Amino acid sequence: MKLTLKIWRQENANDKGKMVTYPIDGIEGDMSFLEMLDVLNEELINKGEDPVEFDHDCREGICGACSLQINGEPHGPDRLVTTCQLHMRSFNDGDTIVIEPFRAKAFPVVKDLIVDRGAFDRIQQAGGYVSVNTSGNTIDANSIPVNKHDADESFNAATCIGCGACVAACKNASAMLFTSAKVSQYALLPQGKIEATERVQNMVRQMDLEGFGNCSNTGACEIECPKGISLENIARMNREYMSATSKG
């Protein structure tokens, strides 16, 4: 497969950056998208040029490290997959593929296609935890009955890998889907009730401080999320937030 790649190149956070075109040949349909970039980078290194920097880690869709806006969509054209799970058979011979970093004021570009998603870590640190008794009398979590529906909903919310596709897809660069998933996974469980009031307030406050946009309920985040995190989480977060605020 012969392709034309248009890739965002940016030396560092202060560089203006620009799109650079790279022709590439010999790409197989069974290659993953990241393997295709590996091939490109080998060619660049052999020519003495700087390889294209991009985030990746597990390469099996569970770590949330890979990102990339591919032809105008986070993680590319396929649904419910991360960039590392995207295969080149999703493209055709002769295609031009535009590859950009996730764009958001809260996700500054570090280099080329790598962005700093530390804002997500800080939102998580603001309330994405539960306090447990570590004195030696810790109660086994399995001894606390949890409604099956709530357990399932909580688990679904917890499958968010924090990749940032929701922010990248949203026309407002909003992080509501991520934040709401992290709020929901605790809000639905008895262990999460104790800090529920502070949690949602602190996480929303941190989300706003990071400079993310507001949710317009376009639903783009849900469609592009590689884990299918539901918009119902945002509605739940809104309820939790207004309820917590009314309590003071």
- Give me the least distance between CB of 167 and another protein, in Å please: 9
Both structure tokens of 188? 């639905």
- Give me the least distance between CB of 106 and another protein, in Å please: 7
CA separation for the pair 172, 162 (Å, rounded): 18
* Rg of the chain (C-alpha set): 20
- Give me the least distance between CB of 89 and another protein, in Å please: 19
What's the first-to-final CA gap in the chain, in angstroms?
60
- Phi, psi (deg, nearest 5) at residue 207: -60, -45
Edge to edge, the sheet with strand 96-100 lists 18-24, 3-9, 96-100, 69-70, 73-74
Q: Of 147 and 216, which CB lies nearer to another protein in the complex structure?
A: 216
Q: Of 58 and 147, which CB lies nearer to another protein in the complex structure?
A: 147
Q: Of 81 and 237, which CB lies nearer to another protein in the complex structure?
A: 237
Alpha carbon separation from 10 to 17, 51, 70, 116, 226 (Å, rounded): 4, 12, 17, 14, 26
Q: Of 105 and 139, which CB lies nearer to another protein in the complex structure?
A: 105
Residue ranges binding another protein (CB under 8 A): 6, 8, 19, 69, 71-73, 77, 98, 100, 103-106, 169, 171-174, 176, 201, 204-205, 207-208, 211-220, 223-224, 231-232, 234-239, 241-242, 245
Q: Of 65 and 104, which CB lies nearer to another protein in the complex structure?
A: 104
- Give me the least distance between CB of 235 and another protein, in Å please: 3
What region does 205 belong to: left with phi over 0, alpha with psi -120 to 50, or beta? alpha
- Give me the least distance between CB of 72 and another protein, in Å please: 3
Q: Of 46 and 213, which CB lies nearer to another protein in the complex structure?
A: 213
Q: Where are the alpha helices (DSSP H) in the chain?
A: 33-46, 118-127, 148-158, 165-169, 176-187, 196-209, 220-224, 232-247
- Give me the least distance between CB of 30 and another protein, in Å please: 25
